[in-house]
Structure 1
Amino acid sequence: MASHAPAPTTARTVTPFATRAAGVVVAVLVVGVVLTALLATVAITAVAVSIAALVLRSLLNSGTRR
């Protein structure tokens, strides 16, 4: 009787693909958080500049009335 060796199997692992997908998800989340923080910073700066402009305009107008 001839004994047949089992056919070699190609082990396909999902781990590298899952790791890469997780890395992409983390990168997208980090970029989203950074962009949101930058947008919030720009909005806060715009509000601060507009308040400073209103105060300066008020001070200049009150100086000309005296």
Structure 2
Amino acid sequence: MLRPKIPANPTPTGAVVPLPTTPTAVDHHQPTAAPMEVPASSRPTVQLTPGSVLALVGGGTAVVLVVGTVLVSMLLAVAVTAASIAVCALVIRSLITSQHRR
């Protein structure tokens, strides 16, 4: 149905792979052997009680809040640093221009 078109390399650099050809006839075979039974897993299944679901939701909420707090504090630290650098730049500029006037 949807097959990707593989471009032919005009100068092969190794083993030459022939282009795929479309099949002319499709032969459907029926399986002769019965399907094998899948063995049961030895691991116990996880059963969630309403209390454990609430604990998981509470834990996930706590993780999201902590990560959000950390990211916001980092952003605030960057903003404060940028503001202080801007103030320092203005003070230095003012000192340099006042020195040139004298």
TM-score, normalised to structure 1's length? 0.75
Q: Which has the higher helix share?
A: 1
TM-score, normalised to structure 2's length? 0.51
2:56 corresponds in structure 1 to: 20
Structure with greater contact order relative to length (CA < 8 Å, sep ≥ 6): 2
Larger Cα Rg: Structure 1 or Structure 2? 2
Where structure 2 has 5 or more consecutive residues not aligned to the other structure, the ranges are 1-46
- Report percent identity of matched pairs: 41
Q: CA deviation at 1:65?
A: 1.4
Where structure 1 has 5 or more consecutive residues not aligned to the other structure, the ranges are 1-10
1:34 corresponds in structure 2 to: 70
What's the C-alpha RMSD, in Å, of the aligned pairs? Answer: 1.6
Structure 1 residues 12 and 50 mapped into 2: Cα distance closer, same or farther (>3 Å)?
closer
Structure 1 residues 12 and 32 mapped into 2: Cα distance closer, same or farther (>3 Å)?
closer
Structure 1 stretches of at least 4 aligned residues deviating more than 6 Å after TM superposition: none
